[in-house]
Structure 1
């Protein structure tokens, strides 16, 4: 498999899961400003949406969108245990978290990276993000991961988005359970491997 990624972007959730499952993969770095790969290819011809992640499967087909790719990988190697059994309520809990992270957290953070963001809009976005972080902090109180004691694809996604808090000057220490979660996930060998490969750890 081949993962088109940008260091630290949402594609890191996919990278983490590839490492957690021990699946062989090739990394292709994408410059989202110029929409080119590190070899100079036009990324828009690879993914017309123009953003990462894109996962090229072994048969040449390409899959996009974080939740879809995470589900594909977890089902590709179910013995990896990153998704509960199909049809179980626990499986739908993971899907519930993936939807929440994607629609309520990821999409709220996204505009903060825009250079033309005005202060009023920024304040509104930050207020919304803080509400979501408080909700997550409460959900994580007393447990290691979003659905209990077992790491899932939803945790990889949440960890990736939480890493954007630092560049946005959001102090996670206000939410101790969330901060503990971030540190716990960061210490996982597969997470360290993915971050090091993306140049985020030295």
Structure 2
């Protein structure tokens, strides 16, 4: 199994989750500017969407999109998802919220068409982080146990720090707890992130 990633990109969430699940996988670094893998392969041949993450299975099948890959990881390691029928649906709800309401907004911050657009996106991200802060149940999104959604949220908080978006103290504390986890430290080390 191979995880195609780019250092510090949203694929970090999958990288963390796969380490949390103790899955064995190879990492393949992708240069998103040149659209090539570290071996020089055209990444568009692997994923025509031209972005990470991509998870390639030993039989050649590929899975893309954070929500899909993180859900797949949670199926392999049930402790990375809340238990119960409705809780499993709540996990998908949270992954979708992070993906559409936080992750997507960062594109308008990283590559804005205007200062006004960047400012509006920063404000919306701040509002969404405030909502998520109120959703924390104890130390994590779903209580005491870490879920795949926590890995995704951690990655978005790294991005917020990178572009100086303030987050509620509860989320800053969450980020520090997550950073201390061995799986997170390993993924950060592999990606060369301090």
1:83 aligns with 2:81: yes
In structure 1, the partner of 2:27 is 27
In structure 1, the partner of 2:91 is 94
- TM-superposed CA distance for 1:99, in Å, is 0.9
* Equivalent residue for 1:196, pick from 183, 189, 194: 189
In structure 2, the partner of 1:18 is 18
Distance 2:82 2:58 in 1: 25
SS in 2 for 1:70: helix
Deviations 1:23-73 (A, max 9, x none): 111111101111111111110010000000000012111100001011112
- Structure 1 unmatched runs, 5+: none
In structure 2, the partner of 1:144 is 139
Deviations 1:120-145 (A, max 9, x none): 111111111111111112222x6101
- TM-superposed CA distance for 1:191, in Å, is 0.5
- Tell me the TM-score normalised to structure 2 length: 0.95
- TM-superposed CA distance for 1:21, in Å, is 1.1
In structure 1, the partner of 2:101 is 104
Distance 2:34 2:152 in 1: 25
Distance 1:150 1:89 in 2: 17
Distance 1:162 1:57 in 2: 29
SS in 2 for 1:50: coil
- Structure 2 unmatched runs, 5+: none
In structure 2, the partner of 1:8 is 8
1:161 aligns with 2:159: no
In angstroms, what is the RMSD of aligned CA positions?
Answer: 1.3
Of stretches 186-195 and 161-170 in structure 1, the one that deviates more from structure 2 is: 161-170
- Tell me the TM-score normalised to structure 1 length: 0.92
In structure 2, the partner of 1:135 is 131
Stretches (4+) displaced over 3 A: none
Distance 2:74 2:117 in 1: 37
